[in-house]
Amino acid sequence: MRLLLLFPLLQVLYALDSNLIPKSSDDNSPCKSCKVLVESFEKGLDRTKNDHFGGGNTAWEEKNLLTYSNSEVRFVEIHDSLCTETSKNQDMCFHLSGEYEHHLKEWWTNGRKEDLYQWFCINRLKVCCPPKYYGPDCLPCKGYPNVCNSHGTCKGDGTREGNGLCKCNSGYSSDNCDQCANDYFAIIKNETLTCKKCHKSCKNGCKDSGPKGCNECKDGWVYTDEINGCVDINECLEQGVCTSEHFCFNNEGSYSCLSK
């Protein structure tokens, strides 16, 4: 009986506690939120770099500027304004600044000898990885150090997520983005691959640029010779393409019947 009476109270407490936890979203990953917090702290450092305790004369201010630079007063001023200048990831930024204030204070009192992002996000909270590394163990991305042949991005790059495989840029394909995708042709210069898009008249790929590089011509185009390659067919020259109530307008690879 007592358990039945307590159950509604437990539900209320759980609901209240759940509301205290920031809701996550696709662009609210722990690493990205940590980056936002670090960027906000660095802005605070820049904003307060010429501040001081205040005094009656310039000599006093100059003498005490170095003291202020490493003071707890300056830390509090920076910490109290964290996340206020950003709109993205703000809830998580506020959450991290409150939850891990002691870590930030530790970095501050130890003389700020290490890069804050490296110390806080990568080493301490372990929510990020160095660039070109991914996953829980910060493993090197595919093709490291020339990740994805410089023609793609590593899935999870710089985070504790992803699988390290390549997401190729437009025009590139294969596991390491070292081949050209369909409808692209390869140019190799100084052992560097560049993939260029085939001409719009090409069907089933091409071997070179322009309409003369096509393997085949698309419908609405016809191959003439090696000099011109695939040339647009002017369907409007044919009889009866459009009704008498319309006139024919030729488009590249097609045509349109427009009202008179």
**Alpha-carbon distance 255 to 260, whole Å?**
15
% residues pLDDT > 70 (the chain)? 83
Strand partners, 222: 231
Q: What is the pLDDT of residue 51?
A: 76
Q: Name which of 43-47, 54-58, 139-143, 213-217 the model is least confident about.
A: 54-58
| Burial class, 8, CB count within 10 angstroms (exposed 0-12 / middle 13-18 / buried 19+) | exposed
Q: What is the pLDDT of residue 252?
A: 92
Number of Cβ within a 10 Å radius of residue 164: 19
Q: What is the residue-wise DSSP string for 94-147?
A: HHHHHHTHHHHHHHHHTTS-S-HIIIIIIIIS--B--TTEETTTTEEPTTTTSG
Sequence-ordered list of residues with C-beta below 8 angstroms from that of 173, at least 6 positions apart, any chain: 179, 180, 181, 182
Task: Read off the pLDDT of residues 153-170 as tens digits, 9 standing for 90 and up.
Answer: 999 999 999 999 999 999
- For the chain, the domains span 27-124, 129-197, 198-259
Secondary structure letter of residue 199 according to DSSP: P
Q: What is the pLDDT of residue 20?
A: 36
Alpha carbon of residue 215 to chain centroid:
36
Kindly report the average pLDDT of the chain as a whole number: 86
3 has a pLDDT exceeding 90: no
Alpha carbon of residue 74 to chain centroid:
33
Task: Read off the pLDDT of residues 70-112 as tens digits, 9 standing for 90 and up.
Answer: 899 999 999 999 999 888 889 999 999 999 999 999 999 999 9
Q: Please name which of 156, 25, 18 lies closest in space to residue 89, comparing C-alpha atoms.
A: 25
- The structure tokens 């909270």 sit at 125
